[in-house]
C-alpha cells in the first residue's frame, strides 16, 4: 500500500498528540480518526489523568469520533495511531468497523519502554483454567435467557 503525503500529515498529528500527552504527564500515545480526508477526532492516552485503564488514545479517539458522527459504526474511517495498537485497542478498532490502521511505533518499540502487551497475547492462547485471572462461569442457565430474548427480538439493531 502506498503511503501518501496526506497519510504523513495525519500520522504527524497522532504523533503531536502523543508528544503533548507526554508533556502534560500522560502516556506516550496519540491517535486520530479520519473520514473523507478530514480528521474527525483525535486524542491521546489519558489513563493516568482519568484513572481509566481503557482510556488509550485509540479508544478515546474512537469514542469521540462516534459522538461527533452520531454512530457506532465507523465504516469509511481510517485510524492513525502513534503506536501499533494493543489488543484492547485492536479489538475496539475492529468493533468500530474502521477500514484501515496506520501506525508509527511497533509493539516491540512499546515493549522497550515498558509498555509490553505480550503477556496478554500469551494469556489469550492459554486454556481458561490456566489463565492468570480466573474466568468462573456463574448462572449460565439464567444468563442465556437474555440471549434468547435478543435472538427473538424482531426490532433489534444489530452491530
State the catalytic residues: 58
Measure the CA–CA gap between 15 and 26, rounded to whole angstroms: 13
Task: Please give the backbone phi and psi of residue 72, each rounded to the nearest 5 degrees, phi first.
Answer: -95, -5
Burial per residue of 43-80, b for 16 or more beta-carbon CB atoms within 10 angstroms, e otherwise: bbbbbeeeeeeebbbbbbbbbbbbeebeeeebeebbbb
Grouping H, G, I as helix, E, B as strand and the rest as coil, residue 33 is strand
The CA-based diameter of the chain, rounded to the nearest angstrom, is 55
Amino acid at each position: 500500500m502506498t503511503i501518501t503525503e496526506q497519510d504523513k500529515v495525519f500520522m504527524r498529528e497522532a504523533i503531536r498528540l502523543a508528544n503533548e500527552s507526554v508533556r502534560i504527564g500522560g502516556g506516550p500515545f496519540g491517535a486520530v480518526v479520519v473520514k473523507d480526508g478530514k480528521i474527525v477526532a483525535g486524542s491521546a492516552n489519558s489513563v493516568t489523568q482519568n484513572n481509566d485503564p481503557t482510556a488509550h488514545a485509540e479508544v478515546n479517539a474512537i469514542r469521540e469520533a462516534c459522538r461527533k458522527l452520531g454512530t457506532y459504526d465507523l465504516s469509511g474511517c481510517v485510524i492513525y495511531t502513534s503506536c501499533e495498537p494493543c489488543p484492547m485497542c485492536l479489538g475496539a478498532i475492529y468493533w468500530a468497523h474502521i477500514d484501515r490502521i496506520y501506525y508509527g511505533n511497533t509493539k516491540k518499540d512499546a515493549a522497550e519502554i515498558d509498555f509490553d502487551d505480550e503477556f496478554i497475547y500469551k494469556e489469550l492462547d492459554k486454556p481458561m483454567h490456566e489463565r492468570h485471572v480466573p474466568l468462573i462461569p456463574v448462572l449460565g442457565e439464567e444468563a442465556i435467557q437474555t440471549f434468547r430474548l435478543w435472538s427473538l427480538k424482531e426490532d433489534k439493531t444489530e452491530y
